[in-house]
Structure 1
Amino acid sequence: MGVHLKTKNLIYEIGAIDFLTSFFHTIEYRLTKGFFGKKYPIILGEFYDGELKYENLERAEKELKDIQKRLKKFKPSKVIWDKNDLKKTPPWENNISEDITDLSNYYVTSNGKDLFEIIFLAIEDAKYLKSGIIIE
């Protein structure tokens, strides 16, 4: 079953729930040393829980920019598919595009778009619409 982000009246396709969960697990495991929600409270707290409130969009954007910058330091092989089972690998294992050079560009949505770009676009649209973002 696929998930998407939704603002007032716009939908942004993401892909499988495991894919999006891996995104959050990779951020937590690689960038926060296991302190889930402490380093990035909006992204790993509110957004991970399924809703990004309008009043936190600016802060979420800042956290995401820092996350994206820091994930550039990690090779694609450092992806975390499931923080509770670190041996678990993505369904495609290591068979990834040569365009994926690090964890900042590892996550590509089901329709071929960079996940960070989609989230940034959703944030911009939500700001314009004065809306939050929901993960459905």
Structure 2
Amino acid sequence: MSVGFLVDCFYYEVGQPDFLHSFFSSVSYNLEKNGWGSRFPKLLKQLYHDRLPYTDVPLAIEEVRVIQEELSKLSPDKVIWDIEDLTKLPPWGTDISPMVTNLENYFATPGGETFTELLLTALSVAEVERQDLVIKKL
């Protein structure tokens, strides 16, 4: 089963559901000292739990840009696989590619771009098409 971002009929594949959860877990744990969605409510409260209305896309884009910048300053060992169980590790453990140099580029999608690049693409399409963005399992 794969998961991705859906905008109308456009689907952007992220990968496995636990990988998507790891991205959001890593963001919240490392960048939101006051809990899930406290700094990035459009992404972690709206998009992750339901849908992001297209009217909120500009604010969500700003959130992604901040996340990109801040994750790029953190080492890959700061990855959080599951914020509900901090003892869980990625299936590959610490065996990662030497090309992974920070937490931002740790999250690469099946298409080869980073999670945040893919999300920005989906957000741009949502804005142009004036369509909500949802997370969809296939």
- Taking structure 2 as the reference length, the TM-score comes to 0.93
CA distance in 2, matches of 1:94, 1:110: 19
Structure 1 partner of 2:77: 77
Deviation at 1:33, TM superposition (A): 1.6
Deviation at 1:20, TM superposition (A): 0.3
* Segments of 4+ moved more than 2 angstroms: 110-113
- Give the alignment of 1:14-25 within 5 angstroms: 14-25=14-25
CA distance in 2, matches of 1:109, 1:99: 14
CA distance in 2, matches of 1:19, 1:41: 20
Structure 2: which 5+ residue stretches go unaligned?
A: none
- Give the alignment of 1:1-136 within 5 angstroms: 1-136=1-136
Structure 1: which 5+ residue stretches go unaligned?
A: none
Q: What is the root-mean-square deviation in Å for CA atoms of aligned residues?
A: 1.1
CA distance in 2, matches of 1:110, 1:89: 20
CA distance in 2, matches of 1:29, 1:118: 21
Q: Number of aligned residue pairs: give it.
A: 136
- Structure ranking higher in helix proportion: 2
CA distance in 1, matches of 2:14, 2:29: 21
Report if aligned partners of 2:104, 2:114 keep a CA contact under 8 Å in 1.
no
* Identity of matched residues, %: 37
Counterpart of 2:75, as a letter, is K
Residue-by-residue CA offset, 1:26-57 (whole Å, 9 max, x unaligned):
01100012421111111111011131110100
Report if aligned partners of 2:54, 2:126 keep a CA contact under 8 Å in 1.
yes
CA distance in 2, matches of 1:112, 1:34: 32
CA distance in 2, matches of 1:121, 1:99: 23
Segment of structure 1 superposing worse, 47-56 or 13-22: 47-56
Residue-by-residue CA offset, 1:56-97 (whole Å, 9 max, x unaligned):
000000011001111112110110001122121101111212
Report if aligned partners of 2:57, 2:123 keep a CA contact under 8 Å in 1.
yes
CA distance in 2, matches of 1:101, 1:57: 29
